[in-house]
Amino acid sequence: MAENSKTLEKQDGFKSQWGFIMAAVGSCVGMANVWRFPMLVSRYGGLTFLIPYFIFAFIISQSGMMEEFSLGRWSGFGPVGSFGKAMENGGRSKKIGELIGSVPVFASLCLGTGYAVIMGWVFYYAKMALTGELVAMGQDMNVIGSTFGAVAPEAATLPEAIKMTFATGGANNFWIIVAIAVSFLIMILGVSGGIEASCKVMIPALYVLFIILAAVMIFIPGTGDGYRYIFTLDPKGLLNPEVWVFAFGQCFFSLSVAGSGSVIYGSYLGKDVKIRQSAALCAVFDTSAALLAMLIIIPAMATVGADLGNGGPGLLFIYILPVFNSMGGISRIIGIFFYVAVLFAGISSIINLFETPVAMLQEKLHMKRLTATAVIHIFGLVVSLIIQPWTSQWMDMVSIYLCPLGAFTAGFMFFWVMKKDTAIEAVQLGSEKPIMKWFYSFGKYVFVPLCLLCFVLGIGFGGIS
């Protein structure tokens, strides 16, 4: 595979297209696939939600994902360097472009920091699954609820959260430290030796575990109603704008188009990698992970006639537990498989989120890989320990205001600022077949406005992801 010399001046790159795809899929597959996607399918009626979702998966993967991968590979840098070079190519100020590029870098750092808190929860629950503590809770909702409440206390405001953290010494400090340490150890090994190597193990393992769990659910009594619901279609439901809004929001954030992680991973690509093929495969794998989670959670909840509620942490750490624990002798195995799979999904996501600011420190401040990684993880650790009781609001703030702006600015740079010939050549590189003729105009007049719409709808609905 050809090497991107500009990238390798600051560090190594992906050694294979498969390794890149696994890493990119890892950046996409995360908590939203597990705790939100099944809830939205349940809320909006099986295929009634899935059809709009599939449509948006095609639209975003064949425009936004291709654009971000191509922008990163063309420039050889993350958002700051990419946006600066794009502005320069379009005859505008490079410095202003770099300043704008700091927005998605900041968003990625903030998202990674909040994700560290969530990963602390996942590590703790994976540990309890392995030791049998989860099964020991049985179906006692008081014990199950109070256990998660102790791990994830909530505060109404950030000052209250900070006060609560310092007063109590933190709720789940040890496992947050473990999550940050695992991310750090993977990332100091570099792109090929750390990120690529780990994702080539974790992502296939995640799918194997999810496939096994989905297959087991077929033989659990009472799951039939869940399957029937998944495959129902209400044509009138397709006329509900809210269904399309939330399908769009879920897909937009699940595919990680935020002008950050996809751009930096793209910068580690060789010239022979097929961008369109890679984007399509990433969308297929990400969507299949969400579908597998759906095929586990909805049938499982159907066995007790339970509602998936509003999704989120409550589904993953509270409401699914009594269902798993009611499945007899295989309860412990199901719990272990489930939380280990979720653990792999989370680790692969957090290393992508932290990679963008790490690369920025390498690019702009010329830090060594070890130093840059240490700085970002120390910052992430300190902030994540402080904001624990305010994690939900923190993540909402980033996803509503910062991530859509990152996607919009990246798309604007590629489709509106860069020269058209340059943009098309960047996407075409590595592919023998000509890129689809509609790609550029579709990205310019459909995808970029959709990013802006995501920002507006997020504010209007109080979040659509």
Q: Residues 259, 452: contact at Cβ < 8 Å? A: no
| Angstrom distances, CA of residue 444 to CA of 202, 245, 411 | 35, 20, 8
Least confident of 4-18, 83-97, 214-228, 301-315: 4-18
Entry pTM = 0.92
Q: Residues 317, 125: contact at Cβ < 8 Å? A: yes
Closest to 346 (Cα-Cα) out of 113, 19, 127, 31: 31
In tens, the pLDDT along 331-358 reads 999 999 999 999 999 999 999 999 999 9
In tens, the pLDDT along 97-130 reads 999 999 999 999 999 999 999 999 999 999 999 9
DSSP 34: I
| Angstrom distances, CA of residue 141 to CA of 42, 136, 155, 375, 380 | 22, 12, 22, 41, 33
In tens, the pLDDT along 198-249 reads 999 999 999 999 999 999 999 999 999 899 999 999 999 999 999 999 999 9
Closest to 409 (Cα-Cα) out of 260, 259, 266: 259
* pLDDT-derived band at 45, boundaries 50, 70, 90: confident
Q: Residues 81, 97: contact at Cβ < 8 Å? A: no
pLDDT at 309: 65
Q: Tell me what the mean pLDDT of segment 178-183 comes to.
A: 97
Alpha-carbon distance of 162 to 247, in angstroms, equals: 35
Alpha-carbon distance of 315 to 338, in angstroms, equals: 13
pLDDT at 5: 40
Alpha-carbon distance of 245 to 236, in angstroms, equals: 16
For 352-367, the DSSP string reads: HHHHHHHHHHHHHH--
Residue with the two structure tokens 């830090």: 367
Q: Residues 179, 350: contact at Cβ < 8 Å? A: yes
Is 402 exposed, middle or buried (CB count within 10 Å of its CB: 0-12, 13-18, 19+)? buried
How large is the greatest C-alpha to C-alpha distance in the chain, in angstroms? 67
Written as six digits, the tokens of 377 are: 């993880």
Judged against a pLDDT cut of 80, whether residue 250 lies above it is answered with yes
Which residues have a Cβ under 8 Å from the Cβ of 234 and sit 6 or more positions away?
A: 45, 48
Alpha-carbon distance of 300 to 221, in angstroms, equals: 9
Q: Tell me what the mean pLDDT of segment 80-108 comes to.
A: 96
Q: Tell me what the mean pLDDT of segment 120-147 comes to.
A: 95
Alpha-carbon distance of 201 to 183, in angstroms, equals: 15
Residue with the two structure tokens 């809004």: 245
| Angstrom distances, CA of residue 307 to CA of 53, 217, 240, 298, 346 | 21, 17, 21, 9, 25
In tens, the pLDDT along 187-196 reads 999 999 999 9
pLDDT at 195: 95
* pLDDT-derived band at 2, boundaries 50, 70, 90: very low
End-to-end CA, the chain: 36
Written as six digits, the tokens of 367 are: 């830090």
pLDDT at 310: 66
